[in-house]
Amino acid sequence: MTKHRAVLSRSLAASVAERPVPAILDRLAAIDPALQRFAEAAVWHRIPGFAWRFLSATSYRDTPGAARCLAAACDALAHHLRAKADLQYVTSVLQRAGIDALVIKGPVLAESVYAEPKLRSYLDVDLVVPPHSFCAAVEALADAGCRRYDISWAGLLRAQAAEIHLLAPNGSIIDLHWNVVGDARARRNFQLGMEQLFRDARSVDVGGRPVRTLSPVDTVVHLCVHAALSGADRLCWLTDIVRASQGIEWTAVSERARAWGLAAAVGTALARAQRVVGLPAPADVIAGLLGGMSWRSITALVDRFGLPLGTQPNSLARLTARAARRGAAQSTAEFVRRTAVWALHGGRHGGSDLAFEPVAEDPADSADRDRYFRFVLAQR
């Protein structure tokens, strides 16, 4: 890691820890006087609100980088206000249709976990419905004016995707799930209990209205799995884990992760959150979840030497976290497979993320849509 990347990483990590450390900023400003690179990295990590608070307490509050962070934080707040309006609309639609839905991540975290919504920048509104209700939910939301924002139905079926994207009236992207693990390859390795998620759900206040979301333990487990499968390379994901786990019973987190075959994935995210942002989780819990020495060694080595907190979507750190599976052996094997592909592409292969874009409903697609719906109905 170069000197600049090391200083940038320390500055970003200090910002989410809310520790003004002028000496770090002085070293960063010597390389990046306007703090533009810091600001762009903060936006990429979806922490502009933290970055602005960090800079505003120092002599660097009037730099172009600080102005960029403040503007992005205000944009995040405006997005949150639109998202709350859309969330109220779509949850009302689903409620009238008799469909149980859980709201996860985004707006729930912004209001119930963070002190200020502008501190948690997010892109979409995630809703989860049971597989047997998914088709009815899609139709109810379409009838209510939500437009599909996705790949084709045939593409969704080929990918066995557990989610589709809809554009809500106020412009928010609604990510409608029938399983909280969207990736089919990863989903086959886990034993996630969707029925139990709904049974243990709780209500929280978002925008003055109650919405159902995951229990505190399931929230932490899901945040860890989502972070790992997404690469665990954005500070917002690691900070989510730290803030959502305050007061958590770590034994319950470990038991849930093991019961659902998520031990290595949860352990990988917890270990990285501990190393990068100081998560106060017991070391024995993390070690037990990571499992065998092979996977523990790989994750520790990568996090020590390969975790630049910059804007590198194809980093080895990202690849490693995304390789996390049921246990140490499966995770190590997946790491070897992904590393081979990564090396073959010269370090430029970042994974198999789907690309989404607005689509128009075509009557010719109805057969593909019906096949996808039948696939979803067959899931448990």
Domain edges within the chain: 3-73, 74-348+355-377
Strands across the sheet containing 102-104: 102-104, 124-128, 173-177, 163-167, 147-148
> What distance in Å separates the CA atoms of residue 294 and residue 117, rounded to the nearest whole number?
40
Measured from the Cβ of residue 370, the count of other Cβ atoms closer than 10 Å reads 12
Largest CA distance in the chain: 62
93-102, 109-118, 250-259, 343-352, range with the lowest pLDDT: 343-352
Residues 269-290: tens digit of each pLDDT: 999 999 989 999 999 999 999 9
Q: What is the pLDDT of residues 100-149, one digit of tens each?
A: 999 999 999 999 999 788 898 898 999 999 999 999 999 999 999 999 88
Beta pairing class for 124-128 and 173-177: parallel
Higher pLDDT, 310 or 376: 376
Average pLDDT over residues 292-317: 78
Nearest Cα to 8, choosing from 53, 48, 42, 55? 42
The pLDDT of residue 314: 72
pLDDT at 358: 55
Average pLDDT, the chain: 88
Report the pLDDT value the prediction gives residue 353, as an integer from 0 to 100.
47
In the chain, DSSP assigns E strands to 102-104, 124-128, 147-148, 163-167, 173-177, 202-206, 209-213
Type of residue found at 185: R
Fold that domain 74-348+355-377 belongs to in CATH? Beta Polymerase; domain 2 (3.30.460)
Q: What is the pTM of this model?
A: 0.91
- Give 350's pLDDT tier (boundaries 50, 70, 90): very low
Q: Residue 152, Cα to own-chain centre: how many angstroms?
A: 24
The predicted structure's pLDDT at residue 361: 58
> Does residue 277 contact residue 16 with C-beta atoms inside 8 Å?
yes
Q: How many helices (H) and strands (E) does the chain have?
A: 19, 7
Burial 86-118 (b: 16+ CB within 10 A, else e): bbbbbbebbeebebebbbbbbbbbbbebbeebb
> CA nearest 167: which of 276, 89, 235, 102?
89
CA distance 112 to 104: 11
pLDDT at site 351: 46
> Looking at 9-23, 88-102, 292-306, which range is the least confident one?
9-23
